[in-house]
Amino acid sequence: MNHPQPVLTIVVPCYNEEEVLGETIKQLSSVLDSLIAEKLISTESSILFVDDGSIDRTWRIIAMESARNDRVFGLKLARNVGHQKALLAGLETAKNKSDCVISIDADLQDDVSVIRNFIIKYQEGYDIVYGVRQSRKTDTFLKKTTAIGFYYLMGKLGMHFVPNHADFRLMSRRALEELGRFNECNVFLRGIIPLIGFPSTKVLYDRKERLAGKTKYPLKKMLSFAFDGITSFSVAPIRFITFLGFFLFLLGGITGSYALLQKVIGNTNAGWTSLIISIWFIGGLQLMGIGIIGEYIGKIFTEVKNRPRYTVDIDLYSEIPFKHLQLKKNEMVSPNDVQFKR
């Protein structure tokens, strides 16, 4: 299937990325210029930066670049909602003006040169193109081990994930329209997008070291992200607690029968140590089971409220009228400084 010069939007979620944002804009703009020169994409193609409630100069950099660069736009969220929801905000904003959308993180760890391969695969008829890492050489031992374990566990739980894929991907407008039908508040795009089922393929690349700034996913956030993914797509943890409860019930019946037999034949002992260990063991399992069930109940609680997943403060992409853009306290950009380009 041939898509002559599709309109491409590159969506970049940002949170406190002032140290790297200038270079990110430079490299992505260069990629767009190159693809337009090759006539692989339309001259209407652009970059949409989504500011996820940053507290540094991220939004100021985006707004000022938008004022002087016809291909750069910004979307400012009213508060920090997390990477996945910020990315979703960008995808939903960009889909109405794009034939295809590529998402990439602002830290430049993903290889921008393979964007060309994404477009070629799109031209071949694929609705979803996943950027997949060839190796994890740039990861620490702990991050590499936990990532491998996470994907292995996902597979065992029956979930359809693309191993070694983060959020560097291309989606066609058709795929984005279908993504819009998934209305859950607990957004985990790496699990949702494979469920769409449209033709997809992979592009392999080597991930780089972060150019500047600090990672936004330390160990605590990575573990929380992984657990959120598991509980959003599988009830296996609850089933595990159920099976464990049956197993302990059977084990308790066997040990109880043994203790009764010892009582009858007169070979009973005090058994303080075994009793304390059993109490602590069973008590810990009960608390763990209650915690897992509570996690699912919490997700149900969030879903039934059906609150908005994000709130847009300023939109420089969809031509929303405005009087001024607030960048920092007591610092404004007037409508004359930032002109809408579409």
Q: What does 75-93 look like in DSSP terms, one character per residue?
A: EEESS---HHHHHHHHHHH
pLDDT > 50? residue 223 = yes
Q: How confident is the model at residue 74 (pLDDT cuts 50, 70, 90)?
A: very high
Q: What is the rounded CA–CA span in Å between residue 157 and residue 130?
A: 22
186: left (phi over 0), alpha (psi -120 to 50) or beta: beta
Q: What is the rounded CA–CA span in Å between residue 224 and residue 230?
A: 10
User: Are 327 and 60 spatial neighbours (Cβ–Cβ below 8 Å)?
Assistant: yes
User: Are 59 and 76 spatial neighbours (Cβ–Cβ below 8 Å)?
Assistant: yes
User: Given this model, what pLDDT does residue 306 score?
Assistant: 77
SS3 313: strand
Please state whether the predicted TM-score (pTM) of the whole model is above 0.85. no
Per the listing, tokens 């490299």 go with 27
Q: How many residues does the chain have?
A: 342
Task: Select the more confidently predicted residue: 80 or 276.
Answer: 80
Q: What is the rounded CA–CA span in Å between residue 331 and residue 318?
A: 23
Dihedral angle of Cα 130, 135, 137, 142, to the nearest 10 degrees? 80
Task: Select the more confidently predicted residue: 339 or 312.
Answer: 312
User: Given this model, what pLDDT does residue 251 score?
Assistant: 73
User: Given this model, what pLDDT does residue 27 score?
Assistant: 95
Q: What is the rounded CA–CA span in Å between residue 279 and residue 275?
A: 6
User: Given this model, what pLDDT does residue 325 score?
Assistant: 42
User: Given this model, what pLDDT does residue 39 score?
Assistant: 94
End-to-end Cα spacing for the chain: 28
Sort strands 312-315 and 325-328 into parallel, antiparallel or unpaired: unpaired
pLDDT > 50? residue 329 = no
Q: What is the pLDDT of residues 167-207, one digit of tens each?
A: 899 999 999 999 999 888 878 888 889 989 899 999 999 88
Weakest mean pLDDT among 43-52, 224-233, 291-300, 319-328? 319-328
Q: How confident is the model at residue 263 (pLDDT cuts 50, 70, 90)?
A: low
User: Given this model, what pLDDT does residue 328 score?
Assistant: 42
Per the listing, tokens 């070694």 go with 164
